[in-house]
A and B are shown apart, each in its own frame.
Chain A
Amino acid sequence: MPQQDEEYNIVDDTMAGHTLNGYFANTNPEHNVRVNSVSANDTSVLSGELVKITVNVENTGNVTERFDVTAYYSALPVETQTITLGVTSQNLYFIWDTTSERGNITISAEASDVGSTLDAETNADDNTKEDGKVIVIPPTLAVMNSTGGNEIIDTTMRGGDTFFVTINITNAYNVDTVMFNLTWRDLILRTVYIVKGDFFEGVSHAFGYSNDTHYALISYNSTGGGVTGSGTIANITFRVVTRGGSLIELKPYPDWWTTYWVTTPVIVSGVHSNYYDMQFHGGDTGNYLWRDWVYPAWTDPVKITVTPKNNGYLYLTYNMTIYANGTVAATEFQTLVGKQHTPDNKRTYTFDLNFTNAAWGVYPMTANMTEIAPEDNDDTNNDYVFGTPVTVRMPGDTDGDGDVDFDDFINFAGPYGLKEGEDDFEEYGDIDGDGDIDFDDFIIFAGIYGQNSGGAYP
């Protein structure tokens, strides 16, 4: 079968060893370079600044060399430059972007690829040089109290009081965004509101999220560009809930930000107590007597209504005591929840006071709440003086003027014979309190007619 004319390779790169390279040297070459020094233009910079690293290399051999020089920070390369160097020394310059770096960082340099495949460098030990350190200062985000400290120790602070902390940034270089988490003990503190600080211009809060235990915030420069320097990112106001202490801590957000911030928490302590405060609510509308006089023979109780209110935040137990002319007339143990748990943190209830057979006279009425546990922080509002006392009248003193005279007889005679519930019935005529105005009442009236209270009232 005939064969076509065709081209083919007798020798090519697929045939190992079929091409042999040449080597030329016009001297007895001594290859040797070394790194003499590595230095930075500044030994202390803010994270994000550019550092100029100067590497001095020297060719100590006897041939012109073409080789690589790499500058490093820590063990990471900044840049590799290839140079041609005669038998002399030369400075090379490298620009290191310190963004996201921090700490005391060693800079170094290495010369490599010196010599040739047939003639290696005579001394490679001096090709690497660690020489110099650069302190890279990262931005610091810190939470501080209103005076720039880290403690809020206030033994006068009580539940309901507010205070604020600031989120401050220092050593910022071209920072355009800040992200953080702020955490605290929700049992002790609650946030009230947050306002932007002065570090970023314009609208600075792109996103904020809070719940009872933390506040996540991304703050940025809405006018664009980074900001260098120091300032306040945000002011956050807290309300004290109860006695105790809490750290207010900055936490990284998100997690990869961990290495970026150095934070010191604000220590909140010395909060005196939960603010326990019982008080009477509503004045004369919430605290009143259902009637202000009685005859000694009456057995129906005098009702008195009180409205205590828990102005604190947690439960408080107390005794409510009603006094008639300084003597205990009634008392009752109570527990009332604070406004932390319900906005309806008050209670209205009524006592029945018995004045049967009480001596004639005026009985000023007061109410007092005495805490059982815990301590009421404001005892100045635990007493209530009712505007009207209870007067125990002489039997038949229908007009309450302190005697039984003809005026009373006129009053008594008018409704005489009527029963409770009938038209024109007047209770002042029912001297014995049996529900009618009859002869029994007249006997009592007649027996005391012409007497007076002897100054017991009015």
Chain B
Amino acid sequence: MLPLLIISILSVLSVNIVEVSAPVYPVITFAPETIVNTTANLPIGTVFNWPISTDYTGSDIWGYEFTITYNPIVLNVLNVSNGDLIVNTIGDSGANFLNGTIDNEAGKLSVTSAFFYYDEGLSPPVNVTSGDGTLVTVKFNVTGIGDSDITLGRETKLIGWNATAG
């Protein structure tokens, strides 16, 4: 699924270089890590989606959270949508997605998270799911000419749950 997504984005943005670093397992990363247009400037107002995914393949994923910072001169975040890992269709307790706070002046998105609801009536009390997959998709708007590091903050976590209740 991941290669298809990258190709899809590149086709939308007409970018001609894509670099994907080989992650150290497990990893949370932008997919692709780098979007660079070396031949022409993108028009301001261009909108594109940029997924954040994990290649973790374990079956104990309960939730995630993250922040990102970016150069607001070049990019603004329009919105964030949940990915395909922590969703209501999995398990019995349901899932909750918090899209965080967008600060396009400071260039910061915080704190976006999703997790399965906790329900003491269940055993175990939460659902877990398996990777890999997309955590979120961030929709960016191009606001200027230039470049931007997009940095995952220290709050970024992939959270597991040990479901071996005794």
Instruction: Name A's B-contacting residues (CB within 8 A).
Output: 1-13, 17-29, 62-66, 84, 116-119
**Structural contact, B161 and A7, CB atoms closer than 8 A:** yes
Main secondary structure of the interface of B (DSSP, over half): loop
**Structural contact, B159 and A10, CB atoms closer than 8 A:** yes
Cα–Cα distance between A9 and B159 once the two chains are bound (Å): 4
State whether A84 and B148 are in contact (beta carbons under 8 Å apart), knowing that A18-B24, A22-B35 are contacts in the complex. Answer: no
Partner of A22, one of B30, B39, B142, B160: B30
B91 at the interface (CB under 8 A from A): no
CB distance from B104 to the nearest CB of A (A): 13
Which interface residue of A5, A10, A11, A26 has the most chain B CB atoms within 10 A? Answer: A26
CB distance from A10 to the nearest CB of B (A): 4
Chain B interface: which size bin? 35 or more
**Structural contact, B161 and A23, CB atoms closer than 8 A:** no
Instruction: Name B's A-contacting residues (CB within 8 A).
Output: 21, 23-24, 26-30, 32-42, 46, 50, 54, 56, 58, 60-62, 68, 70-71, 73-75, 124-126, 140, 142, 144-152, 154-166
Q: Which residues of A contact B166 (CB under 8 A)?
A: 1-4
Partner of A10, one of B36, B46, B61, B142: B61
Q: List 15 A-B contacts (CB under 8 A).
A: A5-B161, A10-B61, A19-B29, A19-B152, A21-B150, A21-B152, A23-B149, A24-B35, A24-B74, A25-B74, A27-B37, A27-B146, A63-B74, A63-B145, A84-B73
**Structural contact, A18 and B160, CB atoms closer than 8 A:** no
**Structural contact, B74 and A18, CB atoms closer than 8 A:** no
Cα–Cα distance between A49 and B126 once the two chains are bound (Å): 68
Q: Which residues of A contact B62 (CB under 8 A)?
A: 7
Cα–Cα distance between A26 and B36 once the two chains are bound (Å): 6
**Structural contact, B145 and A8, CB atoms closer than 8 A:** no
**Structural contact, A10 and B160, CB atoms closer than 8 A:** yes
State whether A9 and B36 are in contact (beta carbons under 8 Å apart), knowing that A22-B30, A119-B147 are contacts in the complex. Answer: no
Q: Which residues of B contact A65 (CB under 8 A)?
A: 146
Q: Which residues of A contact B68 (CB under 8 A)?
A: 22
Cα–Cα distance between A284 and B124 once the two chains are bound (Å): 131
CB distance from B76 to the nearest CB of A (A): 12
Cα–Cα distance between A27 and B30 once the two chains are bound (Å): 19
**Structural contact, A29 and B54, CB atoms closer than 8 A:** no
Cα–Cα distance between A66 and B152 once the two chains are bound (Å): 20
Q: Which residues of B contact A13 (CB under 8 A)?
A: 154-157
**Structural contact, B147 and A29, CB atoms closer than 8 A:** yes
Cα–Cα distance between A27 and B37 once the two chains are bound (Å): 5
Cα–Cα distance between A254 and B158 once the two chains are bound (Å): 63
**Structural contact, A5 and B162, CB atoms closer than 8 A:** yes
CB distance from A83 to the nearest CB of B (A): 11
Q: Which residues of A contact B71 (CB under 8 A)?
A: 66, 116
Q: Which residues of A contact B158 (CB under 8 A)?
A: 9-12
Q: Which residues of A contact B24 (CB under 8 A)?
A: 17-18
State whether A64 and B165 are in contact (beta carbons under 8 Å apart), knowing that A8-B159, A13-B156 are contacts in the complex. Answer: no
Q: Which residues of A contact B39 (CB under 8 A)?
A: 28
Which interface residue of A19, A28, A65, A84 has the most chain B CB atoms within 10 A? Answer: A19
**Structural contact, A20 and B23, CB atoms closer than 8 A:** yes
Q: 14 other contacts beyond A19-B27, A21-B33, A26-B42, with CB at 8 A cut-off? A: A3-B162, A8-B159, A8-B161, A10-B60, A11-B27, A20-B27, A22-B33, A22-B34, A24-B50, A27-B37, A27-B40, A66-B73, A84-B73, A116-B148
